[in-house]
Amino acid sequence: MGARVFPAAAPFTFMALVELRNVSKIYRVGDEEIRALDDITMDIEAGEFISIIGPSGSGKSTLMHILGCLDSPTKGTIQLDGTMIHNASAVHLAAIRNQTIGFVFQFFNLLPKLNVLQNVELPMVYAGVSSRERRDRALASLQMVNLENRSKHRPSQLSGGQQQRAAIARALVNNPRIVFADEPTGNLDSHTGEAILLLFRQLSEQGRTIVLVTHDPEIATVTPRRIEIRDGKISAHPDVRLAGLNRTPAPAAAPNG
């Protein structure tokens, strides 16, 4: 019978998960123009663990917001998972953000009046998932970050590292194709920060696509690929220019002594 093997709208299989082409972002503040991003072209492949690194004010958060469809470019295009973002309707865009992308932020952004379980359930409320399924999936997500024993706690009753793990569970709960983390260890002590980085590495080893944004070259050593931005442009030779980046990523978490 006439089953169609190749639907006309199927994305090409060689397409990267995220494709940015000649993206610029210009902010206008009064009479001043701030070129936060200047002609950025880059791809992120499915399954990659990649860091975006650069000093404060270089454009990292702006780039992450555009990669994650929270903001749109002034010039250039972004294609996410086969969809041209500037052609998508507002409703479609909201659905893409909710189902394709997870975000983790420096200050966790948990809602203080909800307990951990309710915070993790929130993205599924927006996605229209039934309450029973929400609970099951939120608990499974909390298990992934080893926090199921704190599900009834309020955020204020948790340590910083636990709050960030709750935020990571929330980012994972809709099983997104890609997770963006903007300075996820920036508000944590170094020991707790390392545990969070280890968690990201484990998630990466399970096949998740993860983009880590950081100003700290030491943190960027956990990812196999790094993109450095300076003054809104991609820097050609990050590994040569940045102190601390001339070593290979540390071996996986096996104890060596």
Question: Which residues would be at the binding site for ligand ADP (CB under 6 A)?
Answer: 27, 29, 34, 36, 54, 56-62
Q: How far apart are CA 39 and CA 256, in angstroms?
A: 44
* List 61, 100, 115, 185, residue binding Mg ion (CB under 5 A): 61
CB 160 to ligand ADP: min, Å: 20
Q: Could you tell me if 185 and 193 are in contact, meaning their C-beta atoms sit under 8 angstroms apart?
A: yes
Q: Which does 62 bind (CB under 5 to 8 A by kind): Mg ion, ligand ADP, none?
A: ligand ADP
Distance CA 21, CA 79 (A): 9
CB of 32 to ligand ADP, least distance (A): 9
> Which region among 55-63, 97-105, 141-149, 237-245 touches Mg ion (by CB under 5 A)?
55-63
In terms of Cβ atoms closer than 10 Å to its own Cβ (0-12, 13-18, 19+), residue 31 is exposed
Q: Applying CB under 5 A, what is the total number of residues that bind Mg ion? A: 2
> Which of the choices ligand ADP, Mg ion, none does residue 244 contact, using the CB cut-off of 5 to 8 A by kind?
none
CA distance 104 to 13: 28
The smaller minimum CB distance to ligand ADP, of residues 27 and 107, is found at: 27
Q: State the distance between the two ends of the chain, measured CA to CA, in whole angstroms.
A: 63
The answer to whether residue 58 forms part of the interface with Mg ion (CB under 5 A) is no
In terms of CB distance, is 58 or 115 closer to ligand ADP?
58
Please give the Cα distance from 152 to 111 (Å, whole number).
13
- CB count within 10 Å of CB 49 equals 20
DSSP 202-252: HHHHTT-EEEEEES-HHHHTTSSEEEEEETTEE-S-HHHHSTT-SSPPPPP
Cβ contacts of residue 234 below 8 Å, gap of 6+?
40, 41, 42, 227, 228
Residue number with CB closer to ligand ADP (15 or 70): 70
Stretch in the footprint of Mg ion (CB under 5 A) among 34-42, 60-68, 98-106, 172-180: 60-68
Q: Pick the closer one to Mg ion by CB: 60 or 137.
A: 60
Contact between 51 and Mg ion per CB under 5 A: no
What part of residues 184-213 is at the interface with Mg ion (CB under 5 A)?
none
Which residues of the chain form contacts with Mg ion (CB under 5 A)?
60-61
